[in-house]
Structure 1
Amino acid sequence: MNLYNIIDNSEQVSFQQAVKQGLGRGQGLFFPETITPLDNIDELLAMNLVDRSAEVLSHLIGDELSKEAIHGIVANAFTFEAPVKKVTDQISALELFHGPTLAFKDFGGRFMAQCLAQFNDDGKITILTATSGDTGAAVAHAFYGMENINVVILYPKGKISPLQEKLFCTLGGNITTVAIEGTFDDCQAMVKKAFDDQELKQAIGLNSANSINISRLLAQICYYFEAFAQLDAAQRNNLVVSVPSGNFGDLTAGLLAKALGLPIKRFIAATNENDTVPRYLAEGTWSPKPTIATLSNAMDVSQPNNWPRIEELFKVKGWSLSELGYGKLSDEETKSVLKDLDKLGYLCEPHGAIAYSELTKQLKDDETGLFLCTAHPAKFKESVEAILGRDIFIPEALASRADLDLLSKEFPVDFAKVRELLMSL
């Protein structure tokens, strides 16, 4: 698999290099040189999740890894299901929260960890990543206890849910967590700054596990195929998928699945009040505003990292951005939608509710709708219970960590302090 740097096309790397390097020169994202459509979609849809995912990823990665090696990586990473649940006669939910940290990030985080374990030549690796909520837990648990790998996770202090924080800030060991007195965008900016520091990169073997890492993105393609496989023939016709969007990795993966030949009719990018992309699609001007804290905190991103990949894909495929649906929801509207879903008998959380709402607004009578549920409602226990006025069940993965002490350090928005920490590991 050959990939190129979107910013500097002269930088071309293999899949292994892209996984180990994370970002390219000038903070450029890596993008596949070729995306050849699959010619056996029907056969793939008849397979189970692991076998199908291994085939799709082998097609993308090529002979850089053997099919047996890729199948082993996938089998170790995808040890949980991604069920499609009916919500209304026309709309279903793809539940991506059945992994160990109860969020869709488990797919990408665990696949990346398995890839690095395959590629690591016993050299020192330091994973630096920013999280707006769920990435931190998925990455921390995927890499916890791995030899020669240190993980440092930056997150905005007070801007993720208490149970999200408990899930990854109570591990210790090779996992270091830092609460930054700023926004997710501040955290992300410091991650990018670290990658521009060549001395630091070489000294600590720097890598990132954000969705900027191509391995995470490729893993996420697989659950779009899984969702499609669970739908019957009638539901597969005119399928519209609504994606709760913050850093836009999830939507990028869905669009890549479509580029590979999965016959999804169209997508909707659903955001909260941090609506840089919806405004861009409506007005044609890229004008990020200061990040606003919302109920759907994992989407509190004003400068989404993966958007350049989406624009690159649309350019390569000759698609028009006018075909991409979009919309945003306020917190008050999100609360109302959560109550509506509860009345329908479906317990959801703010991110999924936003995707559902935009789907109901834009879905046509002859279309079938699917929205992504990216995290378990219990990860947002306090807000969901307050909105619905009742208690919700806490899974063991969360309950077992709820009373543990936080081990996080607290830093201001100061790259020098983060750099010092990284060099000390």
Structure 2
Amino acid sequence: MKLYNIKDRSEQVNFEQALKQGLGRYQGLFFPDSIKKLDNLASLLRMELVPRSSAILAHMLGGEVSKDVLDAILEKAFTFPAPVVKVSENIHALELFHGPTLAFKDFGGRFMAQCLAQFNAGKKTTILTATSGDTGAAVAHAFFEMENVNVVILYPKGKISVMQEKLFCTLGKNITTLAIEGTFDDCQAIVKQAFDDQELREAIALNSANSINISRILAQICYYFEAFAQLDAKQRENLVISVPSGNFGDLTAGLLAKALGLPVKRFIAATNSNDTVPRYLKTKSWTPRQTLATLSNAMDVSAPNNWPRIEELFNVQGWPLECLGYGVTTDSQTIDALRELDALGYLCEPHGAIAYAELTKQLQPGETGLFLCTAHPAKFKESVEDILGNHVELPEALASCADLPLLSQDFGADFSAIREFLMAM
């Protein structure tokens, strides 16, 4: 598989290099050099999740990773389902929270971990990543106790849910968590600075497990095909997919699935009040504002990393950006959507509720709607219980860590201090 750096097309790498390197020069994202349509969609849709995903990724990787190796990687990574659940007559939910950390990030995090285990050949690696809530847990659990891998996770102190924090800040061992006085964008900026520091990168063999790493995006493509496979022929005809969007990796994966030939009619980028992309699509002016804290904290991102990949994809495919749906849902509208879903008999959480809200606003007669549920409601137990007045039971993954002490260290949003800490490791 050939990939190029969006900011410097002269930098070209294969999949293994992109996996290990994370970012290119000038903090550039890697992007596939070519995207060829799948020519066997009908037969793929009859397969189960793991063999189908292996076939799709083998097609994309172009022989760089053998089918046998991919099969083995995916059998270890994708050990949980992604069911489509009917919510109303023409609207369905794609549940992506059945993995070990109860969020969609389990797909990408576990795939990346297994790929690194395959390629690393015992070499020491430091994974540095920023999280707005769910990435941290998925990455921590995917790499937990993995030999020769140290993981350092930065997250905005006091700006993720209690249950999100418990899932990855109580592990210890090869997992180090740093609570940063600032926003997710501050955490993300520190990660980017680290990747620009050649001495640091080489000293600690730096890599990232954010969705800036192309391996995460490739893994997420697979569950769009899984969702499509679970729908009947009529539902597939005019399918509209609404994606809760913060750092825009999930939407990037869905659009790549469309470029591979998945016949989705259109996508909706559903954001909270951190609305940089909707404003950009409306005004053509890229003007990130200060990040706002919302009920949907995993989407509290003002400068989404993956947006350049989406623009690159639209340019390469010759798609007009005007065909991408978008919408902004406030906290009060999120509460309304949660209550509406509850009345329909479906328990959701704020991120999925935003995708549902935008879908119901924009779905046309004759269309089938699918919205992504990216996290288990119990990860937002306090807010969901407060809004709905219902008790939310903790699944075992959360119950087992709910009373454990946090092991995080506090830092200011100061790259020099964190650089010193990383070098000392």
Distance 2:69 2:55 in 1: 11
Question: Partner of 2:44: helix, strand, or coil?
Answer: helix
Matches within 5 A, 1:54-73: 54-73=54-73
Following the alignment from structure 1 to structure 2, what is the Cα–Cα distance between the partners of residues 172 and 393? 26
Q: What is the TM-score normalised by the length of structure 2?
A: 1.00
Q: Secondary structure at the match of 1:63?
A: coil
Q: How does 1:292-303 map to 2 (within 5 A)?
A: 292-303=292-303
Q: In the alignment, what sits opposite 2:358?
A: 358
1:342 aligns with 2:327: no
Q: CA deviation at 1:395?
A: 0.2
Q: Which amino acid aligns with 1:211?
A: S
- Equivalent residue letter for 1:12: Q
Instruction: Name the CA distance, whole Å, in 1 between partners of 2:216 and 2:38.
Output: 20
What is the one-letter code of the residue matched to 1:333?
A: Q
Secondary structure of the structure 2 residue equivalent to 1:116: helix
Give runs of aligned pairs for residues 283-294 of structure 1, distance below 5 A.
283-294=283-294
Within the alignment, does 1:127 sit opposite 2:88 as a pair?
no
Matched residues in 1 for 2:201 and 2:124: separation? 11
2:74 paired residue number: 74
Q: How does 1:11-410 map to 2 (within 5 A)?
A: 11-410=11-410
Distance (Å, rounded) in 2 between the aligned partners of 1:282 and 1:356: 21
What is the alpha-carbon distance in structure 1 between the residues aligned to residue 213 and residue 223 of structure 2? Answer: 18
Gaps of 5+ in 1: none
Aligned equivalents of 2:417, 2:87: Cα separation in 1: 48
User: SS of the residue aligned with 2:153?
Assistant: strand
Give the whole-Å Cα distance in 1 for the aligned partners of 2:381 and 2:61. 39
Q: What is the rounded CA distance, in whole Å, between the counterparts of 2:74 and 2:7 in structure 1?
A: 30
Q: For residue 412 of structure 1, what is the aligned residue in structure 2? A: 412
Q: Deviations over 1:29-87 (max 9, x none)?
A: 00000000000000000000000000000000111111000111011100000000000
Rounded to whole Å, the distance in 1 between the matches of 2:12 and 2:374 is 32
3-state DSSP class of the match of 1:79? coil
- In structure 2, what is the Cα distance between the partners aligned to 1:56 and 1:14? 17
- The CA deviation at 1:121 is 2.5
Aligned to 2:9, what secondary structure does the other structure show?
Answer: coil
Q: Percent identity among equivalent residues?
A: 75
Give, as a single letter, the amino acid of the residue that structure 1 aligns with 2:341.
L
Q: Tell me by how many angstroms 1:418 deviates.
A: 0.9
User: Which residue is equivalent to 1:5?
Assistant: 5
- Inter-partner Cα distance in structure 2 for 1:164 and 1:66: 36
Give secondary structure in 1 for the equivalent of 2:269: strand
Taking structure 1 as the reference length, the TM-score comes to 1.00
Pick which of 385-394 and 372-381 moved more.
Answer: 385-394
Please state whether the residue corresponding to 1:423 is helix, strand or coil: helix
Paired letter, 2:348: C
Q: What is the distance in 1 between the residues matched to 2:121 and 2:232?
A: 45
SS at match of 1:64: coil
CA shift for structure 1 position 123: 1.6
Per-residue CA distance 1:74-133 (angstroms, 9 max, x = gap)? 111000000000000010000000000000000000000000000002221000000000
Q: How many pairs does the alignment contain?
A: 425
Local SS of the residue matching 1:154: strand
CA deviations over 1:2-36 (Å, ceiling 9, x no partner)? 00000000000000000000000000000000000
Q: Secondary structure at the match of 1:11?
A: strand
Question: 1:296-322, CA deviations, whole angstroms, 9 ceiling, x for partnerless residues?
Answer: 000000000000000000000000000
Deviations 1:231-278 (A, max 9, x none): 000100110000000000000000000000000010000000000000
CA distance in 1 between counterparts of 2:45 and 2:127 reads 34
**Deviation per residue, 1:134-192 (Å, 9 max, x gap):** 00000000000001100000000000000000000000000000000000000000000
1:331-390, CA deviations, whole angstroms, 9 ceiling, x for partnerless residues?
Answer: 111011100100000000000000000000000011000000000000000000000012
Moved more, 62-71 or 37-46: 62-71
Q: CA RMSD in A?
A: 0.4
Q: Secondary structure of the residue that 1:4 maps to in structure 2?
A: strand
Taking the aligned partners of 2:419 and 2:76, their CA distance within structure 1 comes to: 33
Structure 2: gaps (5+ residues)? none
Q: For 1:168 and 1:360, locate their aligned partners in 2 and report how far apart those are by CA, in whole Å.
A: 34
2:57 and 2:65 map into 1 onto residues whose CA distance is 10
> What is the rounded CA distance, in whole Å, between the counterparts of 2:366 and 2:391 in structure 1?
37
* Code of the aligned partner of 2:407: L
How far apart, in 2, do the equivalents of 1:321 and 1:88 lie? 30
Q: Specify the SS of the correspondent of 1:9.
A: strand
Letter of the structure 2 residue corresponding to residue 158 of structure 1: G
- Output the CA distance in 2 between the equivalents of 1:420 and 1:171: 23
- Cα offset for 1:393? 1.2
SS in 1 for 2:366: coil
CA distance in 2, matches of 1:221, 1:65: 17
Amino acid paired to 1:126? T
CA apart distance, 1:420? 1.3
Give the distance between the partners of 1:422 and 1:43, measured in 2 at CA. 48
